[in-house]
Amino acid sequence: MAQVRIQDRSSATPVAAATPRAPGNGDGRSGTAVITRTKPRTKRPNLYRVLLLNDDYTPMEFVVHVVERFFNKSREDATRIMLHVHQNGVGECGVFTYEVAETKVTQVMDFARKHQHPLQCVMEKK
Ligand code: TYC
């Protein structure tokens, strides 16, 4: 009986295997049948919070501008987030996949440095 491998198309990893058989019977085919999964298996990506940290020197108005500009928040929401960070020491600006979160952190840190403010932005796995 021919070997049958059942293969997950998304990972190319066989998920079950049946009786092995001797390779090549001379007909030019491998003697291996592959059954691919038809139902899509979508894996949820790891998500990361992007956080702002409070400090004593960065102007409130600068933080509001950062949150509007890099996290696409309204002035009202950005002000709420800034005040939350000011009062609690840390606050969430958004939740993103790894590469997007990393880009946000870099953009905020570069912008703060350019304006000589000590504002800190970090990411944290959810
Ligand atoms: N604490 C700062 C001040 O009083 C304001 C501030 C808010 C700084 C949020 C950083 O992430 C921050 N000027």
pLDDT means per 10 residues, the chain with 126 residues, are 39 41 51 84 97 99 99 99 99 98 99 99 98
Residue 3 Cα to ligand 1 midpoint, Å, equals 65
The whole-model pTM stands at 0.76
Full DSSP string of 54-70: --SSS-HHHHHHHHHHH
- Whether 58 lines ligand 1, by a CB cut-off of 6 Å, is yes
Q: What was the pLDDT predicted at 44?
A: 96
**Cα–Cα distance, 24 to 95 (Å, whole number):** 52
Q: What was the pLDDT predicted at 7?
A: 39
- Mutation test of ligand 1: which of 68, 85, 122 has the most ligand atoms closer than 8 Å to its C-beta? 85
- Whether 89 lines ligand 1, by a CB cut-off of 6 Å, is no
**Cα–Cα distance, 53 to 86 (Å, whole number):** 8
- Mutation test of ligand 1: which of 82, 111, 121, 122 has the most ligand atoms closer than 8 Å to its C-beta? 82
